[in-house]
A = this chain, B = another copy of it.
């Protein structure tokens, strides 16, 4: 069997996660890693060579699908359309509001080049989106809820780190249990931001810093914390490393709805993720969609695709017969 040759652009947490995920898939192999940093002396966990991004186009013939492992703020809006002109690509673009314009730019590039470009793959957007779509298509009269956490929010942790006197910080987003219970009981609550999530912060302060002031700065920060019930714990650098070194995340998508001649029957559809490593799980989703991109391209399909456009069978290494026998 010819294995699907995967390239990785960007060797941060997500890129390393893809490297691990590819090793778990027998029908794939990692061809090379590309970086914008100086590759000399860079070592991959799998021993696969690291090249400078300038060499990427020259290695076109060695790569079936290129995984774009950069960030949504500045990397992907530029990279995905640019590389879709040369490769089948997969990205995890997650700036929800900008998806329509990202889709349009990538679709144009991919169609012109005859490539398949999967965008916004991961868990939200990604698996959560899929569950919103399926649940909405099934329960036509109902309410949608998405909760995030318990997990580390990188953006909120960064916001705390920018406060003077803060050496390091981790912020956990946590769903409010009573809100979840109300949703599951089909009470159709209308929930404010404050009622859905709490925020818990673990902060390492500089020596001599004014902790009371820091706590007030955090709790009053608009958009990030002011709209939430926020708890702040000051801990040592050692405690932060020991107890908060991981990148866990997760969350829940729920839809409740009614059926019956009088709407007398309630139904709850719930999808949840509990992830020890947010980037490694995201990488696993990207990898499954790399398989789909490759297979769809073999059928002559081109253009930009999201998880909504991919028949589930494309994701599995099993044959259709095996799937029907073992998974259906």
Contact = CB atoms under 8 A, between A and B. Distances in A.
A324 B312 contact: no
A153 interface: no
A308 B324 contact: yes
Nearest to A277: B265
A12 to B, nearest CB: 15
A281 B268 CA distance: 10
Interface in A133-174: 133-134, 136-141
A251 to B, nearest CB: 12
A327 B100 contact: no
Interface stretch (A60-68, A187-195, A204-212, A313-321): A313-321
Contact of A316 (B133, B272, B325): B133
Given A24-B141, A259-B281, A267-B275, A313 B324 contact: no
B270 A327 contact: no
Q: How many copies does the complex hold?
A: 2
Contacts of A99: 324-325, 328
Given A137-B291, A267-B273, 10 more contacts: A100-B324, A133-B313, A136-B316, A138-B281, A259-B280, A259-B284, A260-B280, A270-B271, A309-B320, A310-B311
23 contacts: A21-B140, A24-B140, A100-B324, A127-B138, A133-B316, A136-B316, A136-B327, A137-B317, A139-B284, A140-B284, A259-B280, A259-B283, A259-B284, A267-B275, A267-B277, A270-B270, A272-B272, A306-B328, A307-B328, A308-B313, A308-B323, A308-B328, A309-B320
